Structure 1
């Protein structure tokens, strides 16, 4: 999942008009609710993807959106408001696999299709109440990064590297990311050890936790940041503690700052990413299909996972995302 410091976002309603007048005349207007976990970073990308996805589909899109700020109660209240507002579908990255299901069930029972992205409900509730789930496979996400880390340690001739994890494991997808990472890493470097694993998804907390880990493990070889805040926080801690050249970082989620660190290549050595804009477009496309009575048969709709493992990769990402929106 993508996580960063939760910033308040005012609930807004905006009409986004598609180009091409003739296509617009043929398409049906859409009224969709969208709920984000933050107002920037990955979620800013999702928002842009939803907006441009409406234009690409030749539909006039009225999107009612908010930031749940990681709060199940706020999420539930907004879902109820969306049902009352008569939206045709709701796009959401649920705060809790178990705690979010009641509000999503109310939307389902009201005849409003719900499309998850990035995170979703537990398997049983998802099958019962969700129309589609746009997601990059979390095991594959971690596995690809574990392979990058393994190749790095093999090249460095480190056969027993010590690694600390900054996690976001209050959501299940992050637990699965770690499993994939560990299995791929140990397949290449059997002696690799996870010596610490603590929550540090939000940037400020990640810096603090990573700094403490470095003090407790002065021989630490690397961090694995399970999400964007953890990745950047670990890199900042390494620099502030004078550990450049001794401790490296592998992590998830591209942002401008993370891409800049990868381009510098002194601390961050590998990043895996799911495009926020791409996932937003995919989620809206599934919402439109659900509105039209054509949800995917298997619920889950896969999205590609990108791997960045060099300074040149970081520079290329920055060039491709000049506006800073992932």
Structure 2
């Protein structure tokens, strides 16, 4: 789940032409799909590009109606109602809140519209009842890979009792699960590790401020764990601004161009775990089309790969593969 600074994205519609040849069948029908992003930057810009690419490659006449919910449950709810009125055949959404988003998603379900989650979703009970598919990189595995990378670092540095602060995005459940995976992997190999602070800092500006305060309160802090991209980059900037390079390092989630550049430098950020926004967007759209065609997956959760970047070389590879800056 990925949460960056909010920027407005005007609702718009585009048409990707490429209907399959042959006789008219369920697979030849024109499609109208709604797509809701939680943000306009970073990961969600990647999801949007993935949906656009998937629409072009679908071999169907496909109209996408999209908007940016700006992390606001009420805006998300209002747009879902608009999509229902517009007669979309599926809705793709990364719900802002497991508790606050379910009513609008239930309304879409009750209207006969399949809903596909990506990155975030509802609680297990509501998800099973109201959601057709959930495209997701397992958040526990996400955190576990990063916890293992942190353990590798501390063992190599001969730090058996490192102090770690967490900049979290735990207003969404996936971030709570990311932390659980991180802590369990780290403590299994470095049992003396301590989480000495855990505060919300999902957006870049807030993360910089909160991380700076954490460093002042914990002058012997060894590392930050940034649960999302804004937290990761914010922690790195705070470490540099507070003169803590060489003393405090960062392990974080979600690759962006700036985060990859920091990883290339390798003085502060030591490892990043990432789920491709573009890849997840393509997967979510594919599941929406399958749901429209009556081919929803038997298992609601449809997994997507999680990647670990923990070297200058791997960061350079990411930058080469994402020369347009879209993750």
Same fold (TM over 0.5): yes
CA deviation map 1:25-48 (0-9, x unaligned):
974322100000111210011011
C-alpha displacement at 1:274, in angstroms? 0.4
CA deviation map 1:185-228 (0-9, x unaligned):
11111110000000000100000000000000011000000000
Distance in 1 (CA, whole Å) between partners of 2:21 and 2:177 is 46
Structure 1 pair 277/74, CA: closer, same or farther in 2 (3 Å)?
Answer: same
Note the 1:88-107 alignment, pairs <5 A.
88-107=89-108
1:9 aligns with 2:12: no
CA deviation map 1:67-120 (0-9, x unaligned):
001111100000000000011100000001011011001100101100000000
Moved more, 27-36 or 38-47: 27-36
For 1:53, the equivalent position in structure 2 comes to 54
Distance in 1 (CA, whole Å) between partners of 2:267 and 2:296 is 46
Q: Any gaps of 5 or more consecutive residues in structure 2? A: none
Q: Provide the secondary structure at the position in 1 that maps to 2:32.
A: strand
For 2:65, the equivalent position in structure 1 comes to 64
C-alpha displacement at 1:56, in angstroms? 2.0
Note the 1:78-227 alignment, pairs <5 A.
78-227=79-228
Distance in 2 (CA, whole Å) between partners of 1:17 and 1:224 is 44
Q: Provide the secondary structure at the position in 2 that maps to 1:8.
A: coil
8 Å CA contact retained: 2:223, 2:250 = yes
Q: Any gaps of 5 or more consecutive residues in structure 1? A: none
Q: Provide the secondary structure at the position in 1 that maps to 2:317.
A: helix
Distance in 1 (CA, whole Å) between partners of 2:61 and 2:276 is 24
Distance in 2 (CA, whole Å) between partners of 1:50 and 1:30 is 14
C-alpha displacement at 1:169, in angstroms? 0.5
Distance in 1 (CA, whole Å) between partners of 2:84 and 2:22 is 28
C-alpha displacement at 1:54, in angstroms? 1.7
Structure 1 pair 119/262, CA: closer, same or farther in 2 (3 Å)?
Answer: same
Q: Provide the secondary structure at the position in 2 that maps to 1:65.
A: strand
CA deviation map 1:137-193 (0-9, x unaligned):
010000000000000000011111000000001111101100000010111111100
Distance in 2 (CA, whole Å) between partners of 1:309 and 1:172 is 26
Note the 1:220-299 alignment, pairs <5 A.
220-299=221-300
Q: CA RMSD in A?
A: 1.4
C-alpha displacement at 1:8, in angstroms? 1.2
8 Å CA contact retained: 1:24, 1:58 = no
8 Å CA contact retained: 1:248, 1:269 = yes
Distance in 1 (CA, whole Å) between partners of 2:245 and 2:233 is 14
Distance in 2 (CA, whole Å) between partners of 1:45 and 1:196 is 31
